[in-house]
Structure formats: C-alpha cells, structure tokens
Amino acid sequence: MGLLFLFIILLGVAGIGYINVMKSDTENILVANYNTLVYARNMLSTLDDNSQQATKTFEANLKKQEANITEIGEKETTIDLRNNFELFKSGKVDNSIIPTMRKEIYRLMEMNMQGIQRKSDLAKETANTANFWIAITGTLCILIAFTLLINLPSSIANPIKELMESIKLISERKYSERVHFESHSEYGELAKSFNSMAEKLQEYNNSNLAKLMIEKKRIEALINNMQDPVIGLDENLKVIFANEEAIKITGLSHADFVGQPATSLALHNDLIRSLVKDLMTEDNNDEKSKANPLVIYADGKESYFEKETLHISIKPTGEETQTIIGHVLVLRNVTQYKELDFAKTNFIATISHEFKTPISSIKMSLQLLENEQIGNLNAEQKNLVDSIKDDANRLLIITSELLNMTQVESGNIQLSIMPADPAEILTIAVNATKTQAEQKQIKFDVSCPEGLPRIQADNDKTAWVLTNLISNAIRYSHDNSIIYLSITSENNKVKFSVKDTGQGISPQYKDKIFDRYFRVPGTKKEGTGLGLTISKEFIEAQGGLITVESEFGAGSTFTVTLNSVA
Ligand code: ADP
C-alpha cells in the first residue's frame, strides 16, 4: 500500500513537472520568437510607406525587437537593421536601402522561425519523455494496485475464514483445534491468542471430564447399590440406565435391556409394559399405582413394589421453558410392609371372629337374665343388665365392622348382586336404626316415590351401608332433629340420600372421612373410623358411587348412587 502511495505521488510530481516544462517551452516560443515574427511583419508592412506614421510604427516595432533578442546572430542582424534604419531616417541614402532592410527583416523572421521549429522539437521531446515516465510510473501503479486487488482480499478473508471455522469447531467442543497463520502478519498475534485460549479450554475440559467421569462412576455405584430397582429413561423412553436390582426383576440381560427403547421391550415383557404404560399413554396415575402395588416374582417369592415415576425436567441455558429430558422409575419394595399388613388383617379377622361367639353368648345370657321365669331383677340389676346389653351390642357392631374391614383389605368382598327393591333396603336400614333414633328423639322424614326401578345390588351390604350412614347421621345430629331419607331415580340410576341437620363436616376433612381409621379430630362420639371406608368399598364394588356434601355447622348429605336393572 505504501509503495502504491509512493508511486502515485511520483506520478503526480512527474506529471506536474513535465507539464510545467512544456508550459515554459510554449511560453518561450510565444515570447521569444512569435513576438519577433509579429514585429517583423509590422515592420515589413510599413517598409514601402514613406509616411511619418509608418516610420513611427517601424521605430516602435524595431525598439521592441531590440528588447526581444533570443536567437544566435539575431543581435547582429538587429544592429544592422537599426543602422540602416537610422541611415534611411536621416535621408542620407535613397530608397535603395529598403531591399537590404527587407532582407534583414526576413533573416530575422527566418532565424525566429527556425527557433520556433527547434523549440517545438524540444517540447515534443519533453512530451515524449513525460509520456515515457508517466507511462512507466502509471504501469507500476496499475501493477501494484492489481496485485493488491488480487491478493489483499484473500489475505484478509482467508485468515478470517480459517478463524471462523476454528471458532465453530471449538464451539462444538473440539478443543484440539488450532489456527496456523504466518506469525509476522497482524493475524499472527490473533492466532497466538486464539491457540492459547483453545489450549486452556482443552485443559479445563480434560480436568472437568475427569471430574465428571468420577462423579458418573460414583452415581452409578450409588444407584447400583440401591436395594430398590431403579430404571432411567430418556425423553424418547429409551432405557439409559438400570441398576442390578432392576435388571434382575426384568429377567433380561444388561445388553438386552439398557440402550433399548422401552416401547419395543414392552412388546415382549409384561413387567416393562406395565411399568411404562402410563408414560406411553402420558397419563400419570401414580396414586393408583401406590394403592395397587405391582406384584413381581423376585427373591424367590412374590414381592410387592410401589412404583414412583419421577419426571426429570430442566431449563436449558438461555431458554425460558422447562423441557422433559427423561424419567426415572423407582420401584420401592414394600413386600415387608405388605406381609405385616397381611398379618395384621389376619390377626384382626381371627380376633373379631373369635370375639363373635363369646359376645353372642353374652347376649344370650342377658336375654336369659331378662327372662322373668328365671327370676326377677331389681331396678338396679335391670339397669346393669341394660348397660351390659348396650356394651355387648356396641362390641358386636365393632367386631362386625372389623370383620368387614378385613374382607375389604384382603380384597375378598363376597357380593351376591341381584335385582333388589330400593325401598325395601331403606326400610331394613330404618328399622335397624329406629331405636337409636328414638333415644335422641330424632324423627325420620322418608320420601320414597312409588314405582321405583329395581336396583342391581347386594341387598345385605347396601342395607349395611345405609344403616351405617343413618347411624352416623343420628350420632352427629342434635336431639329432636329430623333426618331426611329419600330415594330418587334418574337415567338408569337410583340415588339414596341421607341428610341430617347436625354439626356437618369442615371442608378440609371432606375428602379424608372415607380414609381408613380416620375420624374428624375432636370427635367425642364412639366409633372406629371404619364405617365410611367400608361403605365406600362396598358401594364401589357394586359399581356404585358414594359422595358427601356438607356445610360445616349446618349438616351433611351422604348420597349413594347405584345402577338400576336395565
Ligand atoms: P365413625 O365410626 O367414627 O363414625 P365413619 O367412617 O363412619 O367412622 O366416619 C368417619 C368420620 O366422619 C366420623 O368420625 C365423623 O367425624 C365424620 N362423619 C361421618 N358422618 C358424619 C355426619 N353425618 N355428620 C358429621 N360428621 C360425620
């Protein structure tokens, strides 16, 4: 670039120089020779004229000529012309001198014309020299500019391109990439900085990689040592890791399991199918799976596992939304608890069964005691017998509730479903609770329209449920109140509702009252907290539904819906 600049200056200087030389040449011709020709012509034109004016003009032009002597020999000729003119002016000579003067003027003209010719040749030569040098410098300028034009863009663009490629590779974590520019160019510095950056990144990456590898091994060991089976799936449900426990229960080899898509494994493996079913259908029924643990043959026996699905989502760097990157299935082995639960259920079943006989015999003995044929009881003894009877009845209710619960827990609800008259079932329940209601002066308001369809239900169990609901209504109602019992039918369904105006249930406990052994805190009335649980199980086992609506302090309405006979 510097050289090009120098040559352009040279070109400018040479151009201006030569133009100046040529200008002075032409000026020279104009001043020195052309003026002499003009004077000579003026003198010639006055030569044949003898007038005073002509002599003056001649005199003036001759003076100018005398001041404009430029050529060799011009001076002598001018002096001769002056002498002859002086002679002519003095009148000492006749007109014969005029041809001599004319000759001299012609000589002057010729001398100057030769001068013009010479100088014009000189100017031509100057122009040629100027042409030569300007052409040479111009060509050099063009050559340099052309070379720059060809080489400069590539010499700038190539390193940038190379640098760009390298940056791209580095961003793809190929840290071994280096750039190689000539070290003396400006890019050399850049390349040095870039390479040192890449080297540091490589070092950093290697040290991080080693750390990550250790961390990965640690986590793998941790997962492998877990007693519970753990399976990791990516977002496309491909198995990315599984611990030994998980591999053991699937019955597959490590290679056949890890790295395979769970969807295709599910085609041949029942266990995997049931594990990923909800992920494949995107329905998250963890609650259901907790309630019904998976039964898997493991450790040489039937084992129970509770499945927990964790959906792993992250917010990628620079993004706003969370994206799911995989799922972890943890199967918690609950066999031990299940076994304990079975033992407890069996124990309760046995105990309550064993209790039934002595309680029945207590009741029979009480009946005998009440019999006047055996002997009269005084008032105090009668009171005692009555309270023993109440307690025995309560015990019988509790044992029958516990026995029902054991049926529910072991999943052995024995139903005998057949067409039944809903009004008849309600009557059984009303009769069973009549005495209890009378004790609190509570009245029933029964609304039972004529011509109700028959329902598809287990007579005894439905009557038991209604008895339990009415009994609850009585227990949690105030004395002298009314309990509204009604049966309605709509859309192939029959609805029993038990409405009381008692204390009601506060909203936070509404969903919990159907849980096992749950009693609203602070409930002082006797009870086990099992009645509603059993009721729900009995009704749902018949394909029905039990719901509650309650306003705290104003009463509750329990509704049982069952299917009518089609
Ligand atoms: P319990 O043997 O305690 O009555 P349940 O399962 O029948 O057991 O009822 C669970 C809890 O629900 C009761 O302890 C009581 O607090 C509440 N509950 C049930 N029915 C009513 C009702 N009609 N009015 C107010 N609270 C009720």
Q: Please, are residues 494 and 453 in contact by the beta-carbon 8 Å criterion?
A: yes
* pLDDT per residue as tens digits for the range 112-168: 999 888 888 888 888 898 889 888 888 988 888 888 888 877 777 888 888 889 889
CA distances from 289 to 195, 263, 406, 520, 544 (A): 57, 20, 21, 27, 22
* pLDDT per residue as tens digits for the range 428-469: 999 999 999 999 999 999 999 988 999 999 999 999 999 999
Distance, CA 543 to ligand 1 centroid (Å)? Answer: 23
Is the CB of residue 494 below 6 angstroms from any atom belonging to ligand 1?
Answer: no
Q: Please, are residues 229 and 305 in contact by the beta-carbon 8 Å criterion?
A: yes
Distance, CA 397 to ligand 1 centroid (Å)? Answer: 15
Q: Whose CA is nearest to atom 11 of ligand 1?
A: 519
Amino acid residing at 324? I
> In the Cβ-directed half-sphere of 27, how many Cα atoms lie within 13 Å?
6
Best probe residue, ligand 1, of 519, 528, 551 (max atoms within 8 Å of C-beta):
519
Residue 557's CB: how many other CB atoms inside 10 A?
18
Is the CB of residue 232 below 6 angstroms from any atom belonging to ligand 1?
Answer: no
| Among the listed residues 169, 310, 148, the one whose alpha carbon sits nearest the alpha carbon of residue 228 | 310
Ligand 1 atom nearest to 520, measured from its CA: 16
Q: Looking at the predicted structure, is the pLDDT value of residue 291 above 70? A: no
Longest dimension (CA), the chain: 213
| Among the listed residues 293, 287, 345, the one whose alpha carbon sits nearest the alpha carbon of residue 516 | 345
H or E stretch covering 188: helix 186-224
Q: Please, are residues 62 and 47 in contact by the beta-carbon 8 Å criterion?
A: no
The arithmetic mean of pLDDT across residues 351-376, rounded, is: 89
Q: Looking at the predicted structure, is the pLDDT value of residue 368 above 80? A: yes
Q: Whose CA is nearest to atom 16 of ligand 1?
A: 520
Q: At what angle do helices 379-409 and 531-541 cross, to 10 degrees?
A: 50
Best probe residue, ligand 1, of 440, 513, 546 (max atoms within 8 Å of C-beta):
513
How far is it, in rounded angstroms, from Cα 233 to Cα 285? Answer: 18
How far is it, in rounded angstroms, from Cα 35 to Cα 118? Answer: 16
Best probe residue, ligand 1, of 481, 532, 547, 559 (max atoms within 8 Å of C-beta):
532
Is the CB of residue 470 below 6 angstroms from any atom belonging to ligand 1?
Answer: no
Is the CB of residue 501 below 6 angstroms from any atom belonging to ligand 1?
Answer: no
Is the CB of residue 401 below 6 angstroms from any atom belonging to ligand 1?
Answer: no
Is the CB of residue 503 below 6 angstroms from any atom belonging to ligand 1?
Answer: yes
Distance, CA 513 to ligand 1 centroid (Å)? Answer: 7
- pTM as predicted: 0.54
Ligand 1 atom nearest to 468, measured from its CA: 7
Q: Whose CA is nearest to atom 2 of ligand 1?
A: 527
Is the CB of residue 476 below 6 angstroms from any atom belonging to ligand 1?
Answer: yes
Ligand 1 atom nearest to 558, measured from its CA: 23
Is the CB of residue 464 below 6 angstroms from any atom belonging to ligand 1?
Answer: no
Confidence of residue 282 (pLDDT cuts 50, 70, 90): low
3-state secondary structure 509-557: HCCCCCCCCCCCCCCCCCCCCCHHHHHHHHHHHCCCEEEEEEECCCEEE
Give 497 or 29, the one with higher predicted confidence: 497
DSSP state of 323: E
**Per-residue pLDDT, 87:** 87
* pLDDT per residue as tens digits for the range 40-49: 999 988 888 8
Ligand 1 atom nearest to 528, measured from its CA: 2
Q: Whose CA is nearest to atom 21 of ligand 1?
A: 472
Best probe residue, ligand 1, of 472, 503, 550 (max atoms within 8 Å of C-beta):
472
Q: In terms of DSSP H, where are the helices of 225-319?
A: 244-250, 254-257, 262-268, 270-280, 286-291
* pLDDT per residue as tens digits for the range 388-435: 998 998 898 889 888 888 888 887 788 899 999 999 999 999 999 999
**Per-residue pLDDT, 115:** 87
Distance, CA 496 to ligand 1 centroid (Å)? Answer: 18
